[in-house]
């Protein structure tokens, strides 16, 4: 999907194929003329089809780039985390997913149901935090199995759907404007640096640059900067859901369960009957279909539909969805070149559907709120920061991972570091990446407060 929700090296959806091992002793490779940043962490994007390709090219655009007037695009379908913007979302982020912002009325997250003593639903907050960590880990290591363990983009879209349904208790137009207001300024701030850097590196934009203003379509860019902007599929998909939610919620309320079940049909139609065009619209349509069930199961949670269902029915249905999604991923490895859910839209749809249904039903039926987090003040504080800066973490995590490589290269010049630090380890780069993310949070995270018309803070 165009999920970049996930995909820094989504070996397929995101135009990421193949893996390059990071060798600490190697000198920092120049960025000019390289694919993406070519830093060698995780899987590298390959929009021109260089390197390993799936044995049977897919027509979804997963993992393959498309060219439009000289611009390079990545058509992903996945970690997102995401996320949730839950953008955030609500990322996404949609890493997978941007990640949900986690703040009341945040771009990817409306105020969640109040938890005991905290004013927030810490169950949702904890899931969003885990989704963001999983997105960063996936973009560092490129683990094909990561989506099976925790489909972060599906989780972030489900959380966003629940929060959106809650927000739509107010006038729809006001809610949509609020969502866009909270999402776009952080995106513009981040995009300014990415666009200027690409212009310096010989990018010549066309009229498609308008998608850097409102990303309802994949923003264009050049090869040099692809590792920074490929994650924007999540923001685009999130905006589609936000714009469509007033209508989706009306339709859902007329026949909740039939609509929820029918939401699995579009991705099957795209796979077996009609394939979307290989362009921005087709890429967006595929991502929308892939996560439609997750968004609607968020509606089902908020509307009380899940709570009325019997546990045995929900568990059996969820296991059936998981079984089909898992079977499809492994049965079609030859076709897609991997079992990575981010590369296989049908598998992603059904696996995420079963996974998030269990998570949301557990919340609805047992009224779980994770209020116990308050007893662990440091952990509770970290969860709060993750949710208050979800958009920032999602947007800036790729750049942090990219910058980690030249920084580690400098460590080799210090004999003590060379001897005692695991400079060749990707785990070390993962740690340095998180250090840079935590530096970015107070430096640029205040933009989320400005977008929300709040007093800017270094930390939420």
Going residue by residue through the chain, which has 460 residues, state the pLDDT in tens, using 9 for 90 and above. 434 333 333 333 333 333 333 333 333 333 333 333 333 333 333 333 333 333 333 333 333 344 444 455 444 433 333 333 333 333 333 333 334 444 344 333 444 343 334 457 899 999 999 999 999 999 999 999 999 999 999 999 999 999 999 999 999 999 999 999 999 999 999 999 999 999 999 999 999 999 999 999 999 999 999 999 999 999 999 999 999 999 999 999 999 999 999 999 999 999 999 999 989 999 999 999 999 999 999 999 999 999 999 999 999 999 999 999 999 999 999 999 999 999 999 999 999 999 999 999 999 888 888 989 999 999 999 999 999 999 999 999 999 999 999 999 999 999 999 999 999 999 999 999 999 999 999 999 999 999 999 999 999 9
**How would you classify residue 15: left for phi > 0, otherwise alpha for psi between -120 and 50, otherwise beta?**
left
Q: Where are the alpha helices (DSSP H) in 264-389?
A: 265-272, 280-302, 311-331, 333-336, 345-366, 377-388
pTM (2 decimals)?
0.77
Place of tokens 């409306």: 110
Cα separation of the two ends of the chain: 32
CB of 6 closer than 8 Å to CB of 76: yes
Tokens found for residue 348? 């992603």
Structure letter (DSSP) for residue 48: T
SS3 content of the chain, % helix, strand, coil (to 5): 60, 5, 35
Tokens found for residue 360? 């949301």
CA 147 to CA 80: how far, in whole Å?
A: 10
CA 237 to CA 232: how far, in whole Å?
A: 9
CA 396 to CA 242: how far, in whole Å?
A: 22
CA 198 to CA 224: how far, in whole Å?
A: 7
CA 433 to CA 438: how far, in whole Å?
A: 9
If residue 445 lies in a helix (H) or strand (E), which one and from where to where?
A: none
Number of H helices, E strands in the chain: 17, 4
Cα radius of gyration rounded to whole Å, the chain: 20
């Amino acid at each position: 999907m165009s999920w970049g929700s996930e995909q820094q090296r989504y070996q397929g959806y995101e135009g990421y194929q193949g893996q390059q091992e990071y060798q600490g002793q190697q000198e920092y490779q120049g960025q000019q003329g390289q694919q993406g940043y070519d830093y060698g962490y995780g899987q590298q994007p390959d929009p021109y089809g260089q390197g390993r390709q799936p044995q049977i090219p897919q027509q979804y655009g997963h993992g393959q780039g498309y060219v439009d007037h000289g611009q390079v695009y990545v058509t992903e379908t996945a970690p997102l985390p995401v996320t949730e913007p839950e953008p955030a979302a609500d990322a996404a982020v949609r890493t997978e997913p941007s990640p949900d912002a986690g703040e009341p009325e945040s771009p990817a997250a409306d105020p969640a149901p109040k938890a005991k003593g905290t004013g927030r639903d810490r169950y949702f907050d904890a899931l969003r935090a885990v989704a963001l960590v999983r997105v960063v880990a996936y973009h560092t290591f490129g683990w094909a199995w990561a989506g099976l363990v925790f489909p972060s983009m599906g989780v972030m879209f489900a959380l966003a759907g629940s929060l959106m349904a809650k927000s739509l208790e107010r006038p729809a137009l006001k809610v949509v404007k609020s969502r866009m207001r909270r999402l776009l300024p952080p995106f513009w701030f981040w995009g300014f640096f990415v666009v200027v850097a690409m212009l310096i590196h010989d990018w010549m934009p066309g009229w498609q640059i308008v998608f850097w203003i409102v990303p309802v379509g994949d923003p264009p860019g050049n090869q040099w900067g692809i590792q920074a902007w490929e994650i924007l599929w999540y923001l685009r998909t999130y905006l589609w859901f936000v714009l469509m939610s007033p209508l989706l919620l009306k339709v859902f309320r007329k026949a909740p369960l039939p609509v929820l079940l029918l939401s699995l049909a579009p991705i099957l139609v795209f796979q077996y009957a009609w394939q979307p065009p290989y362009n921005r619209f087709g890429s967006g349509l595929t991502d929308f279909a892939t996560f439609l069930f997750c968004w609607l199961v968020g509606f089902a949670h908020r509307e009380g539909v899940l709570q009325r269902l019997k546990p045995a029915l929900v568990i059996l249905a969820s296991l059936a969805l998981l079984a089909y999604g898992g079977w499809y991923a492994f049965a079609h490895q030859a076709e897609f070149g991997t079992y990575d859910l981010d590369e296989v839209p049908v598998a992603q749809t059904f696996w995420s559907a079963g996974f998030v249904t269990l998570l949301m039903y557990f919340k609805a039926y047992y009224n779980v709120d994770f209020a116990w987090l308050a007893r662990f003040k440091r952990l509770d504080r970290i969860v709060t920061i993750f949710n208050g800066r979800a958009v920032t973490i999602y947007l800036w995590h790729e750049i942090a991972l990219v910058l980690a490589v030249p920084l580690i290269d400098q460590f080799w010049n210090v004999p003590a570091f060379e001897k005692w630090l695991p400079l060749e380890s990707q785990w070390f780069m993962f740690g340095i990446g998180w250090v840079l993310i935590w530096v970015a949070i107070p430096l640029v995270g205040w933009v989320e407060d400005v977008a929300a018309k709040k007093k800017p803070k270094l930390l939420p």
